[in-house]
Structure 1
Amino acid sequence: MKTKNFVVVTISIAVVLGLLIYWREYSTRDQVSLFYVLLWQIGIWIPWFFGFKLIKQVVGKTSKTKFGIPLLAGVCIIWVGLHYGWFFFISSNFSPYLGLPGSRFGVYRYFFIFWTLIDIGLLWFIIDKLKSRKGEELPPPLLLELTRGNNKYFCEPSQIHWLAAENYYTKLSTTEGVFVMRKPLKSFHNLLPQDMFRRIHRSTIVNVNYVSELERGNSQNLKVVMKDGTRRKVSRNFVKEITLFFKDRTY
């Protein structure tokens, strides 16, 4: 949600509230100007611009710390308290209803109900919009630039079957064929999606979506059989992990 759009929302709320209050207090219309009622309400609600900026920053950090939710809740409570103080200050000094019968500190009791409901509604609206937008702002798909001869190929992780270390190089088996890149296997392990790629050996990483079988030999050695028929040995250090991983994925 953009700041400009939120300012429009805030001013709209202030105008609608001003009109409702002016309409509700029909007995004082000859003593109160609609213009000043609207100006008073805009003065009360326009500080929400700063609240929006503050909450926007906090929402952006909630995924980076385990204290994100308590932090956001604390900031919201503090902000509502600050806005309440601002509401009381503006109304006590500049409300067009100051000194009129039935009002106290320039407000009527039902003003506080409006204020509370709208503040809660704005908090929910902002957090919902910011979080939904955050979910939409996903990073672009990862592309690997592979070369064969003078040709360049752009490969997505989902197109990679397996990767194997060969000295200072890494061999990649993909839907476009086999490629060799002068990068260590470790660099790919840190880059590729962990839910799609699993290390089965110190020198081998496989795409679990291309695994068709776990094959046990007579000596209890485990091999991963890929859908293209390739067999890759599973290191003893990874046998239990890989076995449990596929057990959890199957019905």
Structure 2
Amino acid sequence: MDTHPITNNRICLLCATALLTLLAVVHTLLLVCYAHTGWQTAAVDAVATNACSATLAYLTWFMAGLLSMPATRCMTIAATTVLWLGGSMTLSLMLSDMLGLPDAPQLPTLPFKLLFGLPAWTALLLWYRLLKLTSTQAPVAVPLSPATAPDPQSTTPPTEYLDRISVKDGTRIHLISPDELLYIQACGDYATLVTPRGEYVMEQTMKYFESHLPPESFVRIHRSTIVSVSQISRLEQFGKETYQVLLKNGTRLRVSLSGYRLLRQRLGI
């Protein structure tokens, strides 16, 4: 099971405890000042709400690695908010009945809970997702063998080429060899790795792949496309200073002017 970033770090744990305490005090004051609730009832509702928040925040970490798609993250935020609201209301009513206190009004506090709760859950999930990505989704780079290593006298740092690329997809990790790659396409902050057995999306820049894939095997034909030279069937011109490459699997990819010059140089034509 993954180590939790909050409970395993004393500073994070202290900050989380202080934040929950502050939220409980603010929650109590809002109930007393705006809903005219008694202090004891307001305190019980605040404790119930923050107890549910802490429990769900702890458990959410263990499913953060499954949230690889934006739609899934949005659905998780919505589901977590509903569970938080429902759980806190139920726990608050149970505690009030056990202590013989009047039930805290729920509807007056609902706008405040949504106002603060939705941004908080969104920020928490994004933070969890960032921690998961930085710890598990970095490509694996292997240094050059001694036979091909640069001269030790050189001041230029040795180039590291990728031996394999690890892509996390939910609970699975795919290992992709550079030899399998047909091409790489940029999609905003993501890169799509296209292979004969499927497409894989990961958070990585095109500049990284350009500098960490063997230059004799891969060429950047466009700012959003890197292609395997061995997969190119032919180079076509379909307009004035407009080019495209046809891959062996029938895919056509646009080539920029700078990419065209680089491709001709790489192919020796």
TM-score by length of 1: 0.50
- 1:118 aligns with 116
- 1:42 aligns with 47
Distance 1:8 1:249, change over 3 A: farther
Task: Tell me how far apart the structure 2 counterparts of residues 13 and 189 of structure 1 sit (CA, whole Å).
Answer: 50
CA contact 1:18–1:38 (8 Å) conserved in 2: yes
Task: Tell me how far apart the structure 1 counterparts of residues 218 and 232 of structure 2 sit (CA, whole Å).
Answer: 19
Q: Which has the larger radius of gyration?
A: 1
CA contact 1:196–1:208 (8 Å) conserved in 2: yes
Q: Does 1:157 align with 2:161?
A: yes
- 2:128 aligns with 130
User: Per-residue CA shift, 1:150-203, capped at 9, x if unaligned?
Assistant: x99975129xxxxxxxxxxxxxxxxxxxxxxxxxxxx65248995549xxxxxx
- 1:62 aligns with 67
CA contact 1:11–1:46 (8 Å) conserved in 2: no
- 2:6 aligns with 3
- 1:167 aligns with none
User: Per-residue CA shift, 1:198-235, capped at 9, x if unaligned?
Assistant: xxxxxx953437xxxxxxxxxxxxxxxxxxxxxxx989
Q: Does 1:206 align with 2:217?
A: yes
3-state DSSP of counterpart to 1:129: helix
Q: Does 1:142 align with 2:148?
A: no
1:128 maps to a residue whose letter is: L
Q: Does 1:189 align with 2:190?
A: no
Deviation (angstroms), 1:94: 2.1
Distance 1:124 1:236, change over 3 A: closer
2:108 maps to a residue whose letter is: Y
TM-score by length of 2: 0.48
> Among 22, 26, 50, which residue is 1:20 paired with?
26
Deviation (angstroms), 1:86: 1.5
Deviation (angstroms), 1:119: 1.8
- 1:72 aligns with 73
1:208 maps to a residue whose letter is: V
CA contact 2:27–2:46 (8 Å) conserved in 1: no
1:84 maps to a residue whose letter is: L
CA contact 2:6–2:12 (8 Å) conserved in 1: yes
2:70 maps to a residue whose letter is: I
Q: CA RMSD in A?
A: 4.9
User: Per-residue CA shift, 1:126-146, capped at 9, x if unaligned?
Assistant: 123234435544626612442
Distance 1:116 1:235, change over 3 A: closer
1:206 maps to a residue whose letter is: S
- 1:250 aligns with 258
Distance 1:190 1:41, change over 3 A: same
- Paired residue total: 183
Distance 1:20 1:123, change over 3 A: closer
Task: Tell me how far apart the structure 1 counterparts of residues 231 and 182 of structure 2 sit (CA, whole Å).
Answer: 20
CA contact 2:144–2:161 (8 Å) conserved in 1: no
CA contact 2:28–2:42 (8 Å) conserved in 1: yes
Q: Does 1:106 align with 2:104?
A: yes
Gaps of 5+ in 2: 153-157, 163-176, 185-208, 221-228, 237-243, 247-251, 260-269
Task: Tell me how far apart the structure 1 counterparts of residues 19 and 122 of structure 2 sit (CA, whole Å).
Answer: 15
